[in-house]
Each structure stands twice: as structure tokens, then as C-alpha cells.
Amino acid sequence: MRENYCWSQSICDLDVRVKVGPEVTSRNQVKVTIGAEHLKVELLDLATKVWSTPVDDALHSRVKLDESIWTLVPGDHVLERQALLVDNLAFQVNLEKAQELWWDRLLASETPINVRAIDPTKPFEDLDPEAQAKIQELTYNQMLKRAGRKTPKEEKMESLLRDAWDKEGSPFKGQPFDPSIVSSCDGF
């Protein structure tokens, strides 16, 4: 927690909560400037007609401008996070990282944190379809092996071997089918 804000992150996006006092009651009292490499939040106190700037600094890394949004619910704080508009938070800004990597700080002026202490897991739903399919395949294959059954790849290899076993020119022609006498390399 910094003096005026706190932040958190996932591999894809950032959450920042900026303190907003009860004097901020309208979006006209908030100016948010999101640049690819800069974040500035200004708040207007109507009683004093003075703008305060709780956040104005270079971001640690680039963000996607077209994926950044903000909204205000008076009297609480600023929050950066995608798709959390249903939460009853005061002020929300969503910043999506340009690259999927862990940031060791939100703003350039901050003291770095230890990113190795971050839980690097990524929800299955956030993976691309190819990665999801590969994980499902590996999980299915592991289940088959535990049950003492062959994986689809092993079944295909055995079928190819059985078809070629007694063909003309095969060193196994005339012998009973016994795949255990053949060494195979994974990937063939």
C-alpha cells in the first residue's frame, strides 16, 4: 500500500486502487490520462476547486490503450482491472499489459518488489485454445496410463507396426506379432 494507492496484478492485467474522498461525487471531478507508458489520475475537490494528483508517473512497462477503461462510484477508491465493473468499488480503471509478464513495480518511481514471490499460476480459462487442448490431451493420456491402457499415440504406433509386421521386406516376416522386441523412438 502506497500513500495514495495500492496495486495488484495477474499475468495479463493490473489492479490499482487510488484513494478517493467523499468530496468526489461525479465523474466530472476525475481526470484519468492513460498512456501506453504513463498513468495520471487527477481529482477535483469542489469545495476548494483544487485538483489533486494522487498518481502521475511512468508505468513500469507498456499497456494496451484500447483495452483500458475506467469508471467511478463515488466515495471509495480507484481500481484498475478488467471486467470488474459489477463490484461496488468507487473508481475503476482497467489496464491490460502489452506483454504477459510479471511487473516488479507499477510505476517507475516505486521500489521494486520480488516477483519470484508471486504465484505464477495462470487460470486454465486464460490459456489459449492450443494450450488448453494440449493440457487436456496430457491429462487424458495420464488417466489412460494409470488405468493400464494405451494412449491414442501408442495405439496408432502399434497399428502401424502390426500393418508392417508381416509385409514383404520386414525383418519380422513370418514371426508372431510381438511389439516388445522393437525399440521405438517417441515421435515416430
Instruction: Based on the fold, state whether residues 23 and 92 are members of the same structural domain.
Output: yes
Whether 187 is in a domain gets the answer no
- Per-residue b or e along 70-91, where b marks 16 or more CB atoms closer than 10 Å to that residue's CB: bbbebebbbbbbbeeeeeebbb
Give the Cβ contact number of residue 107 at 10 Å: 18
The C-alpha cell that represents 163 in the structure block: 500393418
Q: Please tell me the predicted confidence (pLDDT) of residue 74.
A: 53
Q: Quick one: pLDDT at residue 97?
A: 93
Which pLDDT belongs to residue 184? 57
Domain extent for 12: 5-121
d(CA 183, CA 166): 17
Please give the C-alpha separations between residue 112 and each of 61, 102, 105, in angstroms, as whole numbers.
Answer: 13, 11, 5
Q: Are residues 137 and 156 in the same domain?
A: yes
Q: All 3 cell numbers of residue 24?
A: 468526489
On whether both 63 and 26 belong to a single domain, the answer is yes
Check: CB of residue 17 under 8 Å from CB of residue 2: no
In this structure, the answer to whether residues 20 and 94 fall within a common structural domain is yes
81 plus 172 within the same structural domain = no
What is the structure's pLDDT at 93? 74
Give the count of alpha carbons within 13 A of 122, CB side only.
Answer: 13
The owner of cell 482497467 is: 94
Please check whether residues 111 and 19 belong to one and the same domain.
yes
* Domains in the chain, number: 2
pTM above 0.75, yes or no: no
Q: Is 9 left (phi over 0), alpha (psi -120 to 50) or beta?
A: beta
Q: What is the pLDDT of residue 106?
A: 92
CATH of residue 89 = 2.60.40.790
- In the listed set 121, 140, 161, which residue is the last one of a domain according to the structure? 121
Which residues of the chain are modeled with pLDDT < 50? Answer: 76-89, 187-188
What lies within 8 Å, CB to CB, of 177 at 6+ separation is 162, 165, 166
Within a domain: residue 186? Answer: no
Name the nearest CA neighbour of 41 among 68, 66, 61: 68
pLDDT of residue 85: 33
Are residues 134 and 57 both part of a single domain? Answer: no
Q: Answer whether residue 188 is part of any domain.
A: no
Pairing of strands 63-72, 38-45: unpaired
29 and 60: one domain? yes
| 31/48 same-domain check | yes
Reported as type and span, the H/E element at residue 136 is helix 129-146
